Protein backbone atom coordinates (compact mmCIF):
# COMPACT_ATOMS: atom_id res chain seq x y z
CA UNK A 1 0.00 0.00 0.00
CA UNK A 2 1.27 3.40 -0.89
CA UNK A 3 2.01 6.09 1.59
CA UNK A 4 -0.48 8.83 2.23
CA UNK A 5 -0.01 12.54 2.13
CA UNK A 6 -1.63 13.63 5.37
CA UNK A 7 -1.92 17.18 4.06
CA UNK A 8 -3.27 19.93 6.33
CA UNK A 9 -5.77 17.99 8.37
CA UNK A 10 -4.04 15.06 10.07
CA UNK A 11 -7.33 13.14 10.06
CA UNK A 12 -7.67 13.43 6.31
CA UNK A 13 -5.57 10.76 4.69
CA UNK A 14 -5.48 11.18 0.95
CA UNK A 15 -3.49 9.04 -1.43
CA UNK A 16 -2.02 11.69 -3.65
CA UNK A 17 1.59 11.31 -2.49
CA UNK A 18 2.09 14.90 -3.48
CA UNK A 19 4.08 15.69 -0.38
CA UNK A 20 7.52 16.15 -1.77
CA UNK A 21 8.68 19.17 -3.68
CA UNK A 22 11.88 17.88 -5.12
CA UNK A 23 14.93 20.05 -4.54
CA UNK A 24 12.75 22.90 -3.26
CA UNK A 25 14.78 23.01 -0.09
CA UNK A 26 17.75 24.27 -2.10
CA UNK A 27 16.35 27.63 -3.23
CA UNK A 28 14.83 28.12 0.20
CA UNK A 29 18.19 27.66 1.90
CA UNK A 30 19.85 30.02 -0.56
CA UNK A 31 17.21 32.69 -0.15
CA UNK A 32 17.32 32.48 3.63
CA UNK A 33 21.10 32.73 3.58
CA UNK A 34 20.87 35.74 1.31
CA UNK A 35 18.50 37.40 3.74
CA UNK A 36 20.83 36.58 6.62
CA UNK A 37 24.00 34.46 6.81
CA UNK A 38 23.48 31.86 9.51
CA UNK A 39 23.91 28.19 10.42
CA UNK A 40 22.01 24.99 9.71
CA UNK A 41 20.13 24.70 12.93
CA UNK A 42 18.64 28.16 12.62
CA UNK A 43 17.88 27.54 8.94
CA UNK A 44 15.78 24.56 9.96
CA UNK A 45 13.71 26.85 12.09
CA UNK A 46 13.21 29.30 9.23
CA UNK A 47 12.37 26.57 6.74
CA UNK A 48 9.04 26.20 8.53
CA UNK A 49 8.02 29.47 6.91
CA UNK A 50 8.44 27.78 3.54
CA UNK A 51 6.19 24.89 4.52
CA UNK A 52 8.80 22.41 5.71
CA UNK A 53 7.30 20.53 8.59
CA UNK A 54 9.51 20.78 11.68
CA UNK A 55 12.04 22.54 9.49
CA UNK A 56 12.68 19.39 7.49
CA UNK A 57 14.98 16.50 8.22
CA UNK A 58 18.34 17.58 9.71
CA UNK A 59 20.13 15.15 7.41
CA UNK A 60 18.51 16.79 4.41
CA UNK A 61 19.42 20.29 5.57
CA UNK A 62 23.03 19.65 6.50
CA UNK A 63 23.78 17.54 3.47
CA UNK A 64 22.27 20.14 1.17
CA UNK A 65 24.38 22.86 2.74
CA UNK A 66 27.55 20.83 2.30
CA UNK A 67 26.71 20.07 -1.30
CA UNK A 68 25.97 23.72 -2.02
CA UNK A 69 29.35 24.56 -0.55
CA UNK A 70 31.16 21.90 -2.60
CA UNK A 71 29.64 23.45 -5.69
CA UNK A 72 30.58 26.96 -4.71
CA UNK A 73 27.13 28.42 -4.10
CA UNK A 74 27.73 29.06 -0.42
CA UNK A 75 30.75 29.35 1.85
CA UNK A 76 31.08 28.53 5.52
CA UNK A 77 33.24 29.12 8.52
CA UNK A 78 33.13 27.86 12.09
CA UNK A 79 31.72 30.14 14.72
CA UNK A 80 33.08 29.07 18.09
CA UNK A 81 32.14 32.21 19.99
CA UNK A 82 28.97 32.31 22.00
CA UNK A 83 27.18 29.63 23.90
CA UNK A 84 26.50 26.03 22.95
CA UNK A 85 28.25 23.85 20.39
CA UNK A 86 30.14 25.43 17.49
CA UNK A 87 28.08 26.60 14.56
CA UNK A 88 29.00 26.45 10.93
CA UNK A 89 28.03 29.86 9.55
CA UNK A 90 27.02 29.88 5.91
CA UNK A 91 26.69 32.72 3.44
CA UNK A 92 25.79 32.89 -0.24
CA UNK A 93 28.38 33.56 -2.93
CA UNK A 94 27.82 35.55 -6.13
CA UNK A 95 27.19 32.37 -8.08
CA UNK A 96 24.80 31.44 -5.31
CA UNK A 97 22.85 34.62 -6.00
CA UNK A 98 22.74 33.72 -9.70
CA UNK A 99 21.41 30.34 -8.70
CA UNK A 100 18.57 31.94 -6.77
CA UNK A 101 17.60 33.88 -9.89
CA UNK A 102 17.68 30.69 -11.95
CA UNK A 103 15.59 28.87 -9.43
CA UNK A 104 13.05 31.67 -9.33
CA UNK A 105 12.57 31.56 -13.08
CA UNK A 106 12.10 27.85 -12.84
CA UNK A 107 9.70 28.07 -9.96
CA UNK A 108 7.61 30.50 -11.98
CA UNK A 109 7.42 28.02 -14.83
CA UNK A 110 6.48 25.26 -12.40
CA UNK A 111 3.67 27.42 -11.08
CA UNK A 112 2.50 27.86 -14.65
CA UNK A 113 2.45 24.11 -15.22
CA UNK A 114 0.57 23.48 -12.01
CA UNK A 115 -1.94 26.19 -12.81
CA UNK A 116 -2.45 24.74 -16.25
CA UNK A 117 -3.27 21.44 -14.60
CA UNK A 118 -5.76 23.05 -12.22
CA UNK A 119 -7.38 24.94 -15.05
CA UNK A 120 -7.89 21.75 -16.98
CA UNK A 121 -9.00 19.94 -13.84
CA UNK A 122 -11.69 22.53 -13.19
CA UNK A 123 -12.89 22.26 -16.76
CA UNK A 124 -13.53 18.56 -16.53
CA UNK A 125 -14.07 17.81 -12.84
CA UNK A 126 -14.08 21.00 -10.85
CA UNK A 127 -17.81 21.43 -10.46
CA UNK A 128 -18.61 17.80 -9.70
CA UNK A 129 -19.18 16.57 -6.15
CA UNK A 130 -16.35 14.79 -4.42
CA UNK A 131 -16.81 11.38 -2.83
CA UNK A 132 -15.81 11.98 0.76
CA UNK A 133 -13.72 9.14 2.20
Minimum Å gap between C-beta 32 and DNA is 13
In three-state secondary structure terms, 90 is strand
Tell me which of DNA, a second copy, none is bound by residue 59, counting a contact when its beta carbon lies within the kind-specific cut-off of 5 to 8 angstroms.
Answer: DNA
Burial of 96 (C-beta count, 10 Å sphere; 0-12/13-18/19+): buried
Using CA atoms, how far apart are residues 61 and 55, in angstroms rounded to an integer?
A: 9
Q: Are 27 and 104 in contact (CB under 8 A)?
A: yes
- Residues within the interface to a second copy (CB under 8 A): 2, 5, 7-8, 14-24, 26-28, 31, 34-35, 49-51, 71, 94, 97-111, 113-118, 120-121, 124-125, 130-131, 133
- Residues within the interface to DNA (CB under 7 A): 2-3, 17, 19-20, 22-25, 39-42, 56-60, 62-66, 82-89
Amino acid sequence: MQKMCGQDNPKHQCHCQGTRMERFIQPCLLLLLHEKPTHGYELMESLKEFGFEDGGDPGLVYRNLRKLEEEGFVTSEWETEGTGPAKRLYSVTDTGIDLIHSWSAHIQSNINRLQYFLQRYRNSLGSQPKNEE
